[in-house]
Structure 1
Amino acid sequence: MILAQLTDTHIRSGRQVAYGRVDTCSMLENAITHINNFRPNVEAVIVTGDITDRGELEAFHLFREIINELVPPWYVVPGNHDSRENFLQAFKDCHYLNDSSDFIHYSIEDHPVRLIGFDTTVENKPYGFLTEERLLWLDNCLAEKTQETTILFQHHPPFFTGINHMDVQNLLNGKELIQLLTSHRQVQHVACGHVHRASETCIDGVGISIAPNAAHSTTLDLDPSGPSSFSMDPPAIRIFRVDAEGYLTSHLSYLGSFDGPHPYFSPDGKLVG
């Protein structure tokens, strides 16, 4: 199975640019074209939060106009920039969402891999936190199907990247999540957003990654006193491949026109000089 992860699209109403220079709408459109043309076909797309920049209902509707051009099915989880009320209003027709809960959790069973969307947000706060109720929901959900390869998708990462101004607003009780997941080894991976920069780690046998951004990237500054800033790095998305035995690999796929592909070998089988 081939999956694509988009994150932190930061759409503004009226197609306004973000932060004075980032055309997030056009960049999302580029990402959608890239996914639709990817081969083998992408079978599902998950957007891990900060769908909008300011939480406006109009911005959610604009996101839907753009994302509806995707060929594969798509799923969304909220981020700290997203109003929960407007999120639920904008996606009320999505069959997998349940507006009767205080949190936006769900499990997708329509694919060879089980996909769980998990809400880590705290209303009007930049950081994430998991209450006992949320952890219990996840524990029970995972206990229902212990043999199915599972990927958990959420906004806030449960680890430190070394980019201090982002680390102070990560998943504050990430250790509790990791402890829970060590009891559910069918979870192959935790896929996160929030940081706007690709990063990967493994904690107690749990593989975790942060997706790159299809628009603006957080500047790679590992100085603890470094300022909060972004850079226009080459945009990218994360691609997951899960094989027939349930093993997962992860790739970055860059958006844009690049020279290539070029053959390593000539038609007669010789390595190109």
Structure 2
Amino acid sequence: MRWFRRRSAQDVVAPKPPVEPVGGGPLTPELLAEAAARYLSPEAQATFRSLAQPSLRLSSALDPGAVVGRLGGAAMLAPQAEWPTWQGRGLEVVAVLDLARLPRLDSLLLPATGWLTFFYDATEQSAWGFDPAQRDAWRVVYCVDAEARSAPDGTETFPEVALSAVEELTAPDPFEDALKGLHNAERDGLFALGDVLPPVSEPAHRIGGWPDLVQNSMWLGAQLASNGIFVGGPEGYQNPRVPGLEAGARDWRLLLQIDSDDDAAMMWGDVGRLYFLIREEDLSSRAFDRCWFEFQCG
């Protein structure tokens, strides 16, 4: 069983009476300011609001002219590229993005042209992202001159769901490591704030911004696991190499979040989510093969 570093028994917040959200639609700077003003000190409000990040929210495309990618379907690969495999079987395509059609995000500067195909061992769902030995169980392939490629025999193909994108503001989950400095004095306010922010509609597919967590903050785990430290138990976080690696957790960004989605016949564990992560430097150098991954479910 995976050990979740942050949400131990003492982290669980006692149930509280229902509260009225500040709004029912997408998060806006005004709604974020209103919610923060209810529960946080002026200094904490400024910190929390400064952490808000834009994202691209992906949803089923109703207009064919607005399609920026899709769930499932064929891969987009270079003519001579080999299909990614793991333990002798082909990886499944979970998403494809047409970068030329994506709106630009200043906080996540993706290439202006080309294709990204996201692969995962989706049939077995064998990898969670905490074991360095499983780093080939997912793959992100960037290609400029690409052609559609059907999956090899024995590899599942998910139904295609065309996706459109709109910009959406995101705020950090109360369990995010970025908020650890506020936990001592503002802990109750942070969790109350999380309760009144507009709920995220599902399925929640997203590019950039803060992830919609199912479990714990993932940045440090990705930093350690990508550097060869097993973080499926508490001993990984006690490794003597951690102090030298910890600062690098701030370099990671959410590249793509894929939710469970009935239309695409995607169920990640118990209604979980897949997260593909990338370092700033790897994004700048187009080193998508260095992406890390996390799978969280309830």
Q: Do Structure 1 and Structure 2 share a fold, with TM-score over 0.5? A: no
Q: Which protein is richer in helix relative to its size?
A: 2
Name the structure, 1 or 2, with higher relative contact order (CA <8 Å, separation 6+). 2
Q: Normalised by the size of structure 2, how large is the TM-score?
A: 0.22
Q: Normalised by the size of structure 1, how large is the TM-score?
A: 0.24
